[in-house]
Structure 1
Amino acid sequence: MNDPAPGATANVPAGPGVSLASARGRWIVFATVLGSSMALLDSTVVNVALPTIGVDLGADMAVLQWTANAYLVTLAGLILVGGALGDRYGRRRIFVLGVVWFAAASLLCGIAPNAGVLIAARALQGVGGALLTPGSLALIQGSIAAGDRARAVGLWSGFGGVGAAVGPFLGGWLVDGPGWRWVFLLNVPVAAVCAPVALRHVPESRDPQAHGRFDVLGAFLGAAALALLTYALIEARSGAPLVIASAVGSVLLAVAFVYAERHRPDPMVPPDIFASRQFTAVNLVTLFVYAAFGGFFFLVVLQLQVVSGYSALAAGAALLPTTALMLLLSARSGALGERIGPRIPLTVGPLLCATGMVLMLRVGPDASYVRDVLPALVVMGMGMVALVAPLTATVLSSVDPGRAGLASGINNAAARAAGLLAVAALPLLAGMGPEAYRSAPEFDAAFGRAMLWCAGLLVVGAAVAWATVRTPVPGAGCHPQCHTYCATTSPPLEPKRTAEP
């Protein structure tokens, strides 16, 4: 794994880089798409399988929440570290390590004999995702010739967008067919193809200015604070002393994280980046809107299966309009945001999404897809189209160009953290009992309350955007990775820019 592929160098390739038209250029795009698709699909297909996992393992609602959140805790906590490791030790090396790690954890998920093993394996999956996700796009940035990079990123984003769009459908088909375990086991053969292709055809690249110091303390404190807060929210109904201790511990760890980041020479999240009012404002908007998205996509597939009687396949297919709209219209949304500035899209987008969530109140027993489900998802999709590309452009334009990759990573981690906290808190706020997903009437009532909470978060996000996002974004158009972006869990990542060869 440590030796460069034939023709590769230890750093960014000498000369003009790899042409996209060459066989090697196509292999690079193929490997990065295949690797990133594993993590992207995992974030969309697992939710569809949750009701079946719960029944098969005899689990309560808390286990379903942890099945979703264990992955997000480690991914959100380590994604910035994953990017830094790639810059220092080689992006291909860390990417391949992430692919293999992710596949091994997926295998453990697929053969998990009980809920405890499944949750632990999901946490390990998040570690693999944090290693491979930043490196996927950075490999293109560091390997492909400068003139071809935008098109290569567009291809990467396009194929990844198609994967995200069909993810829920694929997950439903697997659950109804060979079984929920294949949602995880499918990653093993994908990795068996991806890793050898990357080792053979992808040049190694790294940041020559990167050093060997990493903010391990900051990563640990951040992830631990998230994990303890998540535990406190999920187990809050018990009122046990451990729950109270976890809540207090999460606050103390969060304070320690802020202190450490302020005083360490190489912090994972440099506090001075928040000196940009625009950057701070758009991250606050991100927290509200992606908390609502995380809660919505966790609960909607449960509602469709538990209450409306949909099969896993039908529930997964039902979500296609939302991702298809993002796939088709993200580039136009980015161009519109470039013309009119970010304030209006970041206000109107969340309001449209809030309207879509209110429309979901019509989805109950024997819901008609065309009459009840489709209108809500179309409105929701149009809101996400309006929001995501301008949000990303605003994040990247609000800091110095040399810190765009860091800013994007912070924004991506914030979105994932917001989603995992929503999945932990919403069932509590909506009054879902431990066995709610086994009772259609109980779940239906709680789902309605949860949708109102989600809509409220989006309205607050829109108000924050209208009040704080002021500065136009000259020249901050729709970045290539936004052209066909349709993941629902986080904004797209921007790779750290590489010096021209």
Structure 2
Amino acid sequence: MSTSVSSRVATDHRVVLAVVSVAVLLSSLDLFIVNVALPAVARDFGAADLSGLSWVLNAYAIVFAALLVPAGRLGDRGSNRTVFLLGLALFVIGSALCALAWNVPSLVGFRVAQAVGAAMLTPSSLGLVLATTPAAQRATAVRLWVAFGGLGAALGPVIGGLLVEIDWRWVFLVNVPIGVVAIAVGLRKLPDPRGDRGALPDVLGALLLIGGIATVILGLVKGQEWGWSSTGVLLAFAAAVIFGIGFVISSARHHSPVLDPALLRATDFTRMAANGVFFQVAFAGMLLSVVLWAQNVWGWSALRTGLAIAPGPLIVPIVAILAGRLIVRVGAGPVIAAGGAAFAAGLLWWAFAITLEPDYTGGLLGGMLVTGLGVGLTLPTAFAAGTAALPPQRFATGAAVLSMARQIGLAIGVAVVVATLGSPAGPDETLDAFQRTWYVTAAIAVLAGVIGLGARKPGRVAPKPDPALA
């Protein structure tokens, strides 16, 4: 868009924040809303195989993760406005196609289109917010932007439950009118700040990352069915190693890599990225397992399941606010470690308290609240610690990489649930399988906390900034 046209576009940062936040809410919502709909999708398509059905969740998370950074770079070098609106349009089209899916493979394919759109709109939306918000108000604007993403996690199960009561296809159709309105307003109101015309993003690296994550997950979800030492599983893991090596080489050589090696040298950045992967593995395992338990074992409706899950996410913002005061006293590391331990305690609560007889208060609620406590302590603290040492011009890229790490964790977490649940034959075997899943995910949550424990305490002398980050 020309400068003359751009100058006529209203640049009120509050309008910009409102428009982009709606889109971010939709993309975040879709990460969580589909979990509740999954049993209904399985019944409609006659898909009893959880390993195949899990790709409805994983295809979105993998593609979203791998394209976040390249899409952000594409917006920065050209036009964040254009990338945002194209991404939102693709997300809306993908949502409509998901509602028209006729089987699991078609739904997975349309979820990929959704994910490409979500990856385009998410970083470009933050770029628009930062470009139009006065410097003194940027911190507040970024917190609100992040909060809308968190709101998707809180509302996803409940909204999903309500929509599935009508038809699971409404889980996707609801995005269409909201997205169309956001596009219409965005065309009139969003500014078009000039890009930096830098290097093109590393698309090959993104594709290699997608291949690496996808083949790891393929090996995990097919391990029970094919055998852990089978040729197929071993080839999947071998392919993952090859893709991984190619990704590392591409990142080291490209001018605009998916994962900038210089970022890894920033204080606490690598540690928080690793924490994000492992904690989200546990989070995805928690969410999917409790949905499957409530609907498939206790026979609850999607709406009742969504309402049962809601107390956990609802306490997250309260805990996050209180955790800010605790961080000042003890530092980020102990708070993150406490979050991992609390999350694990919630999973162990279910492993010991849940029975085949439905009991929400005695069995499910306590674990839901304690896992919510763990999320509130961990996620905002780890994000803040990971980006604290980044210079302003690398904040958006660093935030995208941390988000990428979390999406990778979500995809692996779903695969872990598939691998640990297996195909139990009867009620007792089903209970044993879910208990095994909760033990494994609890151990992963503790590991995430241990990784985060080493985060430096505020006030400690930081190392000299890396020139490559300047």
The equivalent residue for 1:405 is 396
* Distance in 1 of aligned mates of 2:247 and 2:142: 34
Identity %: 31
Partner of 1:197: 185
Cα drift, residue 149 of structure 1: 3.0
Matched letter for residue 288 of structure 1: F
1:472 maps to 458
Which residue of structure 2 aligns with residue 255 of structure 1?
Answer: 245
Report the Cα offset of residue 339 of structure 1.
Answer: 3.8
1:51 aligned partner, one-letter code: P
Contact 1:309 1:366 in 2 (8 A): no
Contact 1:172 1:313 survives alignment (8 Å): yes
Q: TM-score, normalised by structure 2?
A: 0.91
In structure 1, the partner of 2:34 is: 46
In the alignment, which residue of structure 2 is the partner of 1:8?
Answer: 7
Q: Mark the runs of 5 or more structure 2 residues left unpaired by the alignment.
A: 463-468
Residues 1:373 and 2:364 aligned together: yes
Aligned to 1:271, the other structure's residue is in SS state coil
Among 75, 80, 95, the alignment partner of 2:69 is 80
Contact kept, 8 Å, 1:95 with 1:136, in 2: the verdict is: yes
| Residues 1:213 and 1:474: Cα distance change in structure 2 (over 3 Å) | same
- CA pair 471-151 structure 1, distance change in 2 beyond 3 A: closer
In the TM superposition, what is the alpha-carbon distance from 1:6 to its structure 2 partner?
Answer: 5.9
Deviation digits for residues 444-485 of structure 1 (CA, Å, limit 9, x no counterpart): 32111000001101122222333x334436799xxxxxxxxx
Q: How has the CA–CA distance of structure 1 residues 5 and 383 changed in structure 2, closer, same or farther, with 3 Å as cutoff? A: farther
Alignment correspondent of 1:116: 105
Separation in structure 1 between the aligned mates of residue 254 and residue 220 of structure 2, nearest angstrom = 30
The root-mean-square deviation of aligned C-alpha atoms, in Å, is 2.5
Q: 1:281 to 1:152 in 2, by over 3 A?
A: closer
Which of these residues, 122, 125, 129, is aligned with residue 118 of structure 2?
Answer: 129
CA 1:308–1:8 in 2, change beyond 3 Å: closer, same or farther? farther
Query: Is the 2:6–2:192 contact (alpha carbons within 8 Å) kept by the matching residues of 1?
Result: no
Q: What is the CA–CA distance in structure 2 between the aligned matches of 1:188 and 1:260, rounded to whole Å?
A: 37
Q: Does 1:421 align with 2:412?
A: yes
Residues 281-300 of structure 1 correspond to what in structure 2 (within 5 A)? 281-300=271-290
How many Å separate the matches in 2 of 1:360 and 1:473?
39
Write the letter of the residue equivalent to 1:91.
Answer: N
Q: Which of 318, 327, 344 is the matching residue for 1:354?
A: 344
Kept in 2: contact 1:162–1:327 (CA 8 A) = no
Residues paired across the two proteins, number: 458
Q: Distance in 2 between matches of 1:298 and 1:3?
A: 47
Q: 111-120 or 57-66, which moves further after superposition?
A: 57-66
Determine the C-alpha separation between the residues in 1 that align with 2:40 and 2:422: 18
Q: 2:222 aligns with which of 225, 228, 235?
A: 235
Indicate the larger mover: 25-34 or 73-82: 25-34
> Alpha carbons of 1:325 and 1:229: their partners in 2 closer, same or farther (altered >3 Å)?
same
1:60-116 CA-partner distances (Å, limit 9, x unpaired): 111221111010110111111111111112111111111110111111111101111
Q: Deviations over 1:430-455 (max 9, x none)?
A: 2412xx5x965543321110000011
Matched, 1:451 2:442: no
Where structure 1 has 5 or more consecutive residues not aligned to the other structure, the ranges are 19-23, 477-496
- 1:462 aligns with 449
Contact between 2:28 and 2:153, CA under 8 Å: does it hold in 1?
Answer: yes
Aligned mates of 2:322, 2:183 — CA distance in 1: 35
Higher share of residues assigned helix: 2
In structure 1, what is the equivalent of residue 205 of structure 2? 218
**Secondary structure of the structure 2 residue equivalent to 1:366:** coil
Give the letter aligned to residue 268 of structure 2.
Q
* Residue aligning to 1:89: 78
Looking at structure 2, the residues matched to 460 and 151 of structure 1 have their Cα atoms a distance apart, in angstroms, of 32
Match of 1:485 in 2: none
The 1:156–1:460 alpha-carbon spacing in structure 2 relative to 1, beyond 3 Å, is closer
Residues 226 and 417 in structure 1, CA contact (< 8 A), matched pair in contact too = yes
Distance 2:327 2:461 in 1: 10
Find the aligned partners of 1:195 and 1:441 in 2 and give their Cα distance: 51
- Residue by residue over 1:168-197, the C-alpha shift from the partner in whole angstroms, topping out at 9 and shown as x without a partner, is 111001111x21011011111111101111
